[in-house]
Amino acid sequence: MEKNVNGRYQEKLQNQFLRSTILPILICFAVFAAVLLAYSEGFSRYSLNARAVQARDQADAIYEYYVSYLSDKDAQEDIKKFYGGEISERLMTYAFRMRCEEAPVKADLLLLNNHGEQVYYSGRSDVTALHPEYYRETIFQYRPIDSSVLSRFYYFLGDASWILNAVIFDDSGDSIGQAFILLGEADLELAFHQFSYEIVLADNGGLAAMTTNHDLLDHRHRLLFANRSSYSGDDSSYLVRTVPLTRLDASVSALSERPNWRGYILPYLGALAVILGLIAYQSTRFGRDLALDSARSLEKLHSEMASVQRDPELRISVESDDEFSDIAGGINRMLDHVQELNQKSLALERSRNDLAKAQIKAQFHPHFIYNTLESIRFAILMDDDKRASDMLLALTSLLRYSVEHNDFISLEEDMEHIREYLDIMRFRYGNRFRYQFEIEEDTKSYLIPPLFVQPLLENSLKYGFAGQDTLELSVQTWLDGEELHIRISDNGIGMTEEELTLQRRLLEEGQFAEGHFGIGLVARSLKLQYGEDSTVVLDSEYGKGLTVELTLKKKVDGDGI
């Protein structure tokens, strides 16, 4: 079998080094590293187990304390008096706070009547405005009417909490409502803040009620490290120890970063320096001997290469029993492939436009689909089947359009599907989001790629709401001679002068601006498909909105330029 270019060199080096001290030193180095790693890993896991047990005890103490409150006869008597109108909300709040004065973590009390309507809440009234409706749909009507205390972890509209729920009975034994202890995530974090490691409290389904590090959870507040003994995030690597809570179908996970090897850098560098010194010494001796044998072949190879530079049709001829004959053969094969590669480069250049078009169509972020489906699911829970059905049809139509259409399409048809996208976003944001279209009649037949401006609209929705309650967005098109102008405007937060200057410079240089990938992608596609004279112009005043205006210099047919 033919050896590669460096085959015989590798054999010579291997024989030389194995007869020297390199192999023993490398073995000692590897053994030392393995022992040190095993000791560090074992000690870290032992310490992590103790920390997980400590965190479990804390969670058990929180649970037992509030179960005792809900089961306490005096506390129940206070609640019954409130239902009976014997005490005011102020006195109810005072009684609840006094009885829970020594609690390991602060909580709030929520009381619902037998119809699931809120009659009392000890915290801020605006915090739980939507929560009782969710409780009625998911907890209230499905729990058994008994004296047990139910526990459930909860995540809704960005709020995570731990809920303890008990039925309240009057003196005759009839149910008069239900009491909820709400342990908010922020308060739970304070209870576990004393620990010098990351803690996550989650049910057996992976839903977290509390975490000291949100990078350990996904967008649904669920564990990223479920059933693992280790986990690597974007910036850190963790050891994981999960222990179940004593009386609940839930668990506490403790995570600590893997051991930092900085303290061992100097010894490792010293050992490495010794190895490199030995390698340098051996290489010097070996190179001196090899040079004497190779000088004649090198001179011949150099001469042949000079001849090839003058006449590319020539091929190198070096007859020797060493590696240089292999090098000559490799160069000859490379020269034979040059013409073939030149032919392929033209085909690759032609495909560049098609790849850029495909990128534009791949911009639906998975979160858009997840969030839309979650909104549809919530509408179904609210018995709003008509809106849920309309949005499901709109989402299906939009996804089918993004997959099935590869060629250019009229601006009029594309704008109909853009409306579907914006209607879905309006469904999610409600009255907080409005949009309008001003599409001039003579622009409707103009051909553009499918979903050409969707990344710009997504940018407006993603960044425009920052610090604002509502967002208004407009899409305008008009012709100036043969040029098509498309303007996307919003009244969102906009850009500072520094940000605007940076984004304009990056667009001029053909780079993708960080945080505004969609603008860069549209700008690249614009120049590839409508000519280098086509432009993307940004205009913004911080706090008053952002405007992106596209100028398409050339018309295209159905297959592009």
Tens-digit pLDDT profile for residues 11-40? 554 555 555 555 566 676 666 666 556 666
- pLDDT per position as a tens digit, 155-169: 877 788 898 889 999
Residues with Cβ within 8 Å of residue 218, at least 6 apart in sequence: 224
Give the residue from 225, 257, 289 where a domain finishes: 257
Pair 251, 371 in one domain: no
**Structural domain of 497:** 367-552
Q: Which residues of 222-235 are buried (b: 16+ CB within 10 A; e: fewer)?
A: ebebeeeeebeeee
Please state the rounded mean pLDDT for residues 475-503: 91
Output phi, psi for 322, to 5 deg.
-120, -165
Under the banding of pLDDT at 50, 70 and 90, the label for residue 411 is very high
Q: In 404-525, which ranges are E strands?
A: 409-410, 433-439, 447-448, 471-480, 483-490
The shares of helix, strand and coil residues in the chain, as percent rounded to the nearest 5, are 50, 20, 25
3-state secondary structure of 210: strand
The enclosing H or E element of 292 equals helix 265-310
Domain shared by 111 and 235, yes or no: yes
Picking from 113-127, 180-194, 485-499, which range would have the lowest pLDDT averaged per residue? Answer: 113-127
Reply yes or no on whether the pLDDT at 513 is more than 70: no
Q: Which of 100-109, 203-212, 306-315, 345-354 has the lowest mean pLDDT?
A: 345-354
Residue 16, in any domain of the structure: no
Find, among 166, 164, 169, 204, the residue nearest to 181 by Cα.
164
Residue 293 has what pLDDT?
A: 54
Top-ranked range on mean pLDDT: pick from 67-76, 293-302, 499-508: 67-76
- The answer as to whether 111 is a domain residue is yes
How wide is the angle at C-alpha 372 spanned by C-alphas 214 and 157, nearest 5°? 45
User: Rounded CA gap, 420 and 425, in Å?
Assistant: 9
Residue 397 lies in a domain: yes
Helices and strands counted in the chain (H then E): 14, 17
Whether residues 382 and 238 fall in one domain? no
C-alpha distances (whole Å) from 248 to each of 35, 150, 152, 210, 244 are 40, 9, 9, 15, 8
What the block records as the tokens of 212 is 């000291």
- CA distances 283 to 43, 69, 178, 507, Å, are 41, 78, 82, 50
47-61, 131-145, 375-389: which range is least confident on average? 131-145
Same domain, 113 and 252: yes
Asked whether residue 505 is assigned to any structural domain, the reply reads yes
Q: Is residue 109 part of a domain?
A: yes
Question: How many domains, in total, are found in the chain?
Answer: 2
Same domain, 252 and 383: no
For the segment 432-478, what is each residue's pLDDT rounded down to a tens digit?
A: 999 999 999 999 999 988 888 888 888 888 888 876 889 999 999 99
Band of pLDDT at residue 397, cut at 50, 70 and 90: confident
Task: Identify whether 269 is part of a domain.
Answer: no
pLDDT tops 80 at residue 132: no
486 occurs within a structural domain: yes
Tokens found for residue 326: 């292999």
pLDDT band for position 2 (cuts 50, 70, 90): very low
Give the pLDDT band (50/70/90) at residue 77. Answer: very high
Percent of the chain topping pLDDT 70:
67
The CATH number of residue 117's host domain is 3.30.450.220
Specify the CATH number for the domain of residue 374: 3.30.565.10
Mean confidence (pLDDT) of the chain: 78
Helices 265-310 & 323-361 angle (0-180, nearest 10)? 100
> Which of 103-107, 354-358, 427-431 holds the top average pLDDT?
103-107
**Residue 297 is assigned to a structural domain of this protein:** no
What is the mean pLDDT of the segment spanning 47-75? 91
d(CA 391, CA 398): 10
Do 250 and 373 belong to one domain?
no
As beta bridge partners, residue 241 has: 254
Do both 65 and 212 map to the same domain?
Answer: yes
The whole-angstrom separation of Cα 382 and Cα 316 is: 80
Q: Which of 257, 291, 324 is the last residue of a domain?
A: 257
Judge whether residue 222 has pLDDT over 70.
yes
pLDDT of residue 219 exceeding 80, the answer is: yes
Is there a single domain that holds both residue 403 and residue 540? yes
d(CA 537, CA 389): 39
Residue 239 sits in the same domain as residue 371:
no
Query: Which pLDDT does position 382 carry in this prediction?
Result: 77
Burial class of residue 545 in the structure, from the number of CB atoms within 10 Å of its CB (0-12 exposed, 13-18 middle, 19+ buried): buried
Q: Which one has a higher pLDDT value, 354 or 253? A: 253
> Which of 239, 257, 275 is where one domain is finished?
257
